[in-house]
């Protein structure tokens, strides 16, 4: 039996404010994270993802106070990422109210941290955030044509995104938040090729992220293999009933949705 699709708003937070850009650049203010979290909870979101988008690049910890205040306002699972480097940060996030922790840059730098966190807390607590983009002209090509980036999409690694997803799944990651840097903020639709490639490589749940501009964009991502769909702009600046529109579009396409 297929598991019902989850619809997840994303709160990209910088200095305590929700921001959104295009291709991870040109960030503009979208509001207070606590207020938005409360709004999305009431609108029927299945989960929330809170990403401190400059925590790794700025070499600072996630804004724990905002996490605590956000967790107090919502009664749905909360995933928090940004600046997570190991067991200590995950432990603190869980104590401040997060249900899951998302890791990216630190795992690329030292993959063993995945094993350490999953052994300590269980795989269900750990989400691998993969910020993937197509390899650029002049850069070293990867087997799949997609490479992993770090530091909020600003730093290329030359690591093949599909192979990295497979390795992380083998190490004990609970699910993968698959962010398309190329599609991010464009509102042109999800990167279906990227989703299909990762789906073929791993059995863990995939959360598709990047590119949603209208409700019709969500069912193709599910058809490509996503277990959950995540978006920001469409919810931040769309009509108040956008959550229900998205869920209805997925339902109308023949998929079960929460």
Residue 1's pLDDT is 47
- 42, 183, 99, 78: CA torsion to nearest 10: -20
Computed over every residue of the chain, the mean pLDDT equals 88
Residue 57's pLDDT is 47
Specify the range with the lowest mean pLDDT, choosing from 8-22, 95-109, 125-139, 175-189.
8-22
How many Å apart are CA 182 and CA 43, to the nearest integer? Answer: 29
Q: State mean pLDDT over 216-244.
A: 94
Which one of the listed residues 14, 46, 131, 160 is annotated catalytic? 131
Residue 59's pLDDT is 42
Contacts of 254-257 with CB under 8 Å at 24 or more apart are 255/2, 255/5, 255/219, 255/222, 255/223, 256/2, 256/3, 256/4, 256/5, 257/4, 257/5, 257/7
Residue pair 213/164 in contact (Cβ under 8 Å)? The answer is no
How many Å apart are CA 129 and CA 133, to the nearest integer? Answer: 13
Specify the range with the lowest mean pLDDT, choosing from 37-41, 46-50, 63-67.
63-67
> How, if at all, do strands 146-150 and 206-209 pair?
unpaired
How many Å apart are CA 10 and CA 33, to the nearest integer? Answer: 10
Q: How confident is the model at residue 22 (pLDDT cuts 50, 70, 90)?
A: very low
- 153, 156, 159, 160: CA torsion to nearest 10: 60
Which one of the listed residues 12, 41, 46, 184 is annotated catalytic? 12
Residue 130's pLDDT is 97
Residue 14's pLDDT is 75
Residue 20's pLDDT is 54
Percent of the chain at pLDDT > 90 equals 64
Other beta carbons within 10 angstroms of residue 165's beta carbon come to: 26
Find the largest Cα–Cα distance for the chain. Answer: 48
Specify the range with the lowest mean pLDDT, choosing from 26-30, 55-59, 79-83, 144-148.
55-59
**What tokens does 136 get?**
């650029």
Specify the range with the lowest mean pLDDT, choosing from 42-46, 70-74, 246-250.
70-74
Higher pLDDT among residues 54 and 237, named by residue:
237
pLDDT at residue 34 greater than cutoff 50: yes
**What tokens does 143 get?**
């087997």
Specify the range with the lowest mean pLDDT, choosing from 25-29, 94-98, 202-206.
25-29
Q: Is 65 exposed, middle or buried (0-12, 13-18, 19+ CB in 10 A)?
A: exposed
Q: Reply yes or no on whether 91 is catalytic.
A: no
Angle, CA 51 vertex, CA 247 and CA 216 arms, to 5° = 25
Encode pLDDT of 98-132 as tens digits.
Answer: 999 999 989 999 999 999 999 999 999 999 999 99
Residue 137's pLDDT is 80
The residue assigned the tokens 């991502």 is 221
Ordered alpha helix ranges (H), the chain? 33-43, 64-73, 87-95, 105-109, 112-121, 161-171, 192-201, 218-223, 233-236, 242-252
SS3 85: coil
Q: Reply yes or no on whether 170 is catalytic.
A: no
């Amino acid at each position: 039996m297929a598991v019902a699709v989850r619809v997840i708003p994303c709160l990209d937070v910088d200095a305590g404010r929700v921001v959104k850009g295009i291709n991870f650049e040109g960030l503009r203010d979208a509001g207070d994270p606590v207020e938005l979290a409360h709004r999305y909870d009431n609108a029927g979101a299945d989960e929330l993802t809170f990403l401190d988008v400059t925590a790794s690049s700025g070499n600072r910890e996630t804004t724990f106070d905002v996490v605590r205040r956000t967790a107090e306002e919502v009664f749905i699972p909360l995933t928090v990422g940004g600046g997570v480097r190991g067991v200590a940060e995950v432990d603190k996030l869980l104590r401040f109210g997060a249900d899951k922790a998302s890791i990216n840059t630190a795992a690329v730098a030292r993959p063993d941290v995945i094993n350490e966190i999953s052994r300590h807390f269980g795989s269900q607590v750990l989400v691998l955030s993969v910020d993937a983009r197509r390899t650029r002209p002049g850069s070293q090509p990867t087997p799949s044509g997609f490479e992993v980036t770090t530091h909020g999409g600003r730093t290329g690694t030359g690591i093949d995104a599909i192979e990295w997803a497979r390795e992380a799944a083998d190490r004990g990651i609970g699910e993968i938040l698959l962010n398309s840097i190329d599609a991010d903020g464009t509102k042109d639709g999800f990167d279906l090729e990227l989703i299909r490639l990762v789906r073929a490589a791993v059995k863990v749940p995939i959360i598709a992220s990047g590119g949603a501009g209208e409700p019709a964009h969500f069912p193709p991502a599910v058809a490509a293999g996503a277990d959950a769909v995540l978006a920001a702009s469409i919810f931040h600046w769309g009509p108040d009933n956008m959550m229900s529109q998205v869920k209805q579009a997925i339902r109308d396409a023949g998929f079960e949705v929460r």
